[in-house]
Structure 1
Amino acid sequence: MIINKQEFYVNGLNYTVRSAIEKDAKDLSELRVQIDGETENLDREQGEAFIDVPGFEHIIKTDTESKRNLFLVAVVHDRIVGFSRCQGNQLKRFSHKVEFGVCVLKEYWGYGIGKNLLQESISWADSNDIKKITLNVLETNDNAIKLYKKLGFEIEGVLKNDKILSDGNYYNTIIMGRFNE
């Protein structure tokens, strides 16, 4: 689905949040690899589960055509610096919910980009009869957990010893959800 673009000015930075378009595919492919190498908060290590340009073109096309999917990008001076996706399920029993995921370049943390991508996603979900948004977050990502709680998400469960990070230790994944009646 497509949303109207939104302009933001946070901590001296102007940026736009808009729906992804097919010509973003090359930048998204490169950006995803870079972000995966900057943080252990995500599921992948750098280069894992690589999505090439045609792969992103297909995802963007599918998400644009689906009423249950939303692919957003955050843009600073014509450069994509972050993105998020809400992905629905075609099964009837799950048609009321979507799963949210987000990533932002480390140099752009602290500008509310992830927050605004999520708020735009929540607004889209609420206006499109999507009752529930779910997400997974690493237990050590305190800032994200605080933000999610502030925006109405609650902890629904914990996947124990779910991930192994570079320090060789196991970490829990927290499952959170926001239900809009």
Structure 2
Amino acid sequence: MPFAITLKVEEKLGVRCLDFHMAHDKTLSNCCKNNLVLNVKIPAIYVNISWKMKVTFRKVREGDLKRLNEIINDVEANRFLNTAAPVSMKSTRDFFNSLRKDERSWYAVLADGVVVGGIILNLHGDKTKRSSHVASIGINLAREYWGMGVGDKAIKFLTGLARKHKVKRFELQYIEGNERARRLYEKNGFKKEGVRKKAFKLNGRYYDSIVMAKFLK
């Protein structure tokens, strides 16, 4: 008989606790410092995992900048970003200040109240321009939160924000090889529109940039 597993992650005093709440009131808890070792045999085909984590969004504050700078400088998290590491704190602060003057909205992503990334909605013009119905997005998350549904929630939040600005065309780009991003975008209705050949350079090698978009009703 299929059963569900709910995983709850907590970090207190450097100790990670992961509680498994299984059907029929069976509970297994295992806590250890920095590493988690599980020896539980269950048929993978029957497992439905749900992360009980509250994800919220708010405008970036000055107090968030140090954490956001750490995330963008993480080697894995930075690999597919247009801004190459190392990124100085001054650059991060200058970017924060510049957003007060243009049409981009920078939001912090919080998981259970902790900043785990940043997202951007970039409006392509004010109401007097013929591209005012277009917006692009950017997402940057701490890698320890990849694959936990945070990116999916971020896109849904950005979609709602875009609707408030009467955006009709929603677009983005990702770099070839970033399969995690491709799957996320396709899941949320984005369609491939074209390729910018060799538009991205990493470690002396050129990569294509894939253009995707979707239209909001």
Under a length normalisation based on structure 1, what TM-score does the superposition of the two structures give?
A: 0.77
User: 1:82: which partner in 2?
Assistant: 117
* CA distance in structure 1 between the aligned counterparts of 2:165 and 2:144, rounded to whole angstroms: 33
Match of 1:159 among 193, 196, 214: 196
Q: Which consecutive unaligned segments of at least 5 residues does structure 2 have?
A: 1-8, 10-48
Give the C-alpha shift of residue 87 in structure 1: 0.8
Q: Secondary structure at the match of 2:156?
A: helix
Match of 1:93 in 2: 130
Q: 1:55 to 1:173 in 2, by over 3 A?
A: closer
Write the distance in 1 (CA, Å) between the matches of 2:86 and 2:121: 22
Distance 1:26 1:137, change over 3 A: same
Higher alpha-carbon deviation: 17-26 or 124-133: 17-26
- The structure-2 alpha-carbon separation of the partners of 1:119 and 1:35, relative to structure 1 and needing over 3 Å to count, comes to farther
Check 1:157–1:132 CA distance in 2 against 1; reply closer, same or farther (3 A cut): same
Aligned pair count?
167
Partner of 2:153 in structure 1?
Answer: 116
Q: Percent identity?
A: 23
The structure with the largest helix share of the pair is: 1
Amino acid at match of 1:51: S
Q: Larger relative CO (CA 8 A, sep 6+): 1 or 2?
A: 1
CA contact (8 A) 1:96 1:131 kept: yes
Aligned 8 A contact 1:13 1:111 in 2: no
Residue 52 (1) aligns with residue 92 (2): yes
SS of 1:93 mapped into structure 2: coil
2:207 maps to which residue? 171
Residue of structure 1 in register with 2:15 after alignment: none
> Gapped runs of 5+ residues in structure 1?
1-8
Deviation string, structure 1 residues 48-87 (Cα, Å, up to 9, x no partner) = 586232541442x457xx5xx4322211354311111011
Distance 1:17 1:51 in 2: 25
Residue among 70, 79, 97 paired with 1:40: 79
1:19 aligns with 2:54: no
The structure where strand makes up a greater share of residues is 2
2-structure distance, mates of 1:54, 1:160? 31
Query: 2:111 aligned with 1:71, yes or no?
Result: no
Could you state the TM-score of these two structures normalised by the residue count of structure 2?
0.66
Structure 1 residue 43, shift from structure 2 partner: 1.1
Structure 2 counterpart of 1:44, one-letter code:
T
Deviations 1:110-161 (A, max 9, x none): 1111221111101221243110111110111112112212211111110111
C-alpha displacement of 1:39: 3.6
